[in-house]
Amino acid sequence: MKIYLNGKFVPKEEAKVSVFDHGLLYGDGVFEGIRAYDGNVFMLKEHIDRLYDSAKSICLDIPLTKEEMIDVVLETLRVNNLKDAYIRLVVTRGEGDLGLDPRKCKEPSIICIAIPMPPLLGEEGIRAITVSVRRPPIDVLNPAVKSLNYLNSVLAKILANYANVDEALLLDKEGYVVEGTGDNIFVVKNGVLKTSPPYLSILKGITRDVVIKLAKEEGIEVREEPITLHDLYTADELFITGTAAEIVPIFEIDGRIINNKKVGEITKRLRERFKEIRTKWGIKI
């Protein structure tokens, strides 16, 4: 396995960053998780745009153009001879000192890792719980910024692990159910598809946007509206979306069974459509 690290491809064992890197010391950096399907890097441009928006939001100047960054991703896949892969693209503030002043950091570190990876949560329906860990308010640490600080999601995942379920769903401070640890939530009720709006505490998922588009193409009504616990518990169908997870139905939430533990019609249709377009929407390796 060859890793892209600051302009070079190096073996995994040699892919190392400084212990003074602010990405390690403070979670000071941004990242993307991207997938390639059969030689097509799915929604690559959109991921790169989100990476640069995250970076801009935290005042991190990425020393490559977007076109050069796209080439980094494509080259990493080529060098590793991968057509289907999960790609992790990371930009950290770089090496500084123990102080948190980012002006001490000389230049950002850029890392690209590509590995084969099946859908993260499997293809079956999953069990989930809502957890006590709240998603940070948008005026505290906006989840729209895909920063390296994922402690909030990690803590929620630990609670799911303790409860012996597959995934945790997080509420915001107001009590709306906003998103999973690394995925967005969709509720189907009476044929209408509902998902959390971007003005709440969510990462605006690229899979989320694709699913909204596909649903509209299928003639399904989509509403971006706040989701309550009651919406979850009384849903006809429930699923999460994300690059790593793809589209995964939730069969059980806080002990309530959804759709008799069967994949619902709308979920099924969207999954089929997603499988059709995932090798087409994006950039060829």
Residue among 124, 130, 145 nearest 28 (CA): 145
Which residues, numbered 149-168, are part of the site for ligand PMP (CB under 6 A)?
153
83 is catalytic: no
What is the x/- site pattern for ligand PMP, positions 107-146, by CB under 6 A?
------------------------------------x---
- Which among 2, 146, 157, 194 is annotated as catalytic? 146
Q: Where are the beta strands (DSSP E) in the chain?
A: 2-5, 8-11, 29-37, 40-42, 85-92, 109-115, 126-134, 167-171, 177-180, 184-189, 192-195, 222-224, 237-242, 246-253, 256-257, 282-284
Give 3-state DSSP helix, strand, coil % of the chain, rounded to 5.
30, 30, 40
Identify the residue among 105, 128, 187, 203 touching ligand PMP (CB under 6 A).
203
Count of residues in contact with ligand PMP, rule CB under 6 A: 15
Identify the residue among 127, 157, 208, 271 touching ligand PMP (CB under 6 A).
208
User: To the nearest whole angstrom, how small is the minimum distance from the Cβ of residue 93 to ligand PMP?
Assistant: 20
Contact window for ligand PMP (CB under 6 A) among 6-14, 63-71, 214-222, 238-246: 238-246
Q: Is 201 in the site for ligand PMP (CB under 6 A)?
A: no
DSSP one-letter string for 225-262: --B-HHHHHT-SEEEEEETTTEEEEEEEETTEE-GGGS
Which residues, numbered 40-79, are part of the site for ligand PMP (CB under 6 A)?
none
What whole-number distance in Å separates Cα of residue 33 and Cα of residue 253?
26
Would you say 128 and 248 are in contact if contact means Cβ atoms under 8 Å apart? no
Nearer to ligand PMP, 243 or 267 (CB): 243
Which residue number places its CB atom closest to ligand PMP?
205
Question: What spatial distance separates the first Cα and last Cα of the chain, rounded to whole Å?
Answer: 18
Which residues, numbered 14-43, are part of the site for ligand PMP (CB under 6 A)?
33
Residue indicated by tokens 């009504």? 221
User: To the nearest whole angstrom, how small is the minimum distance from the Cβ of residue 243 to ligand PMP?
Assistant: 3
Identify the residue among 95, 166, 167, 179 touching ligand PMP (CB under 6 A).
179
Sheet holding 85-92, edge to edge: 8-11, 2-5, 109-115, 85-92, 29-37, 40-42, 282-284
User: To the nearest whole angstrom, how small is the minimum distance from the Cβ of residue 19 to ligand PMP?
Assistant: 26
User: To the nearest whole angstrom, how small is the minimum distance from the Cβ of residue 179 to ligand PMP?
Assistant: 5
What whole-number distance in Å separates Cα of residue 184 and Cα of residue 21?
30
Q: Which residues are catalytic?
A: 146
Q: By the criterion CB under 6 A, which residues form the site for ligand PMP? A: 33, 143, 153, 179, 182-184, 203, 205-208, 241-243
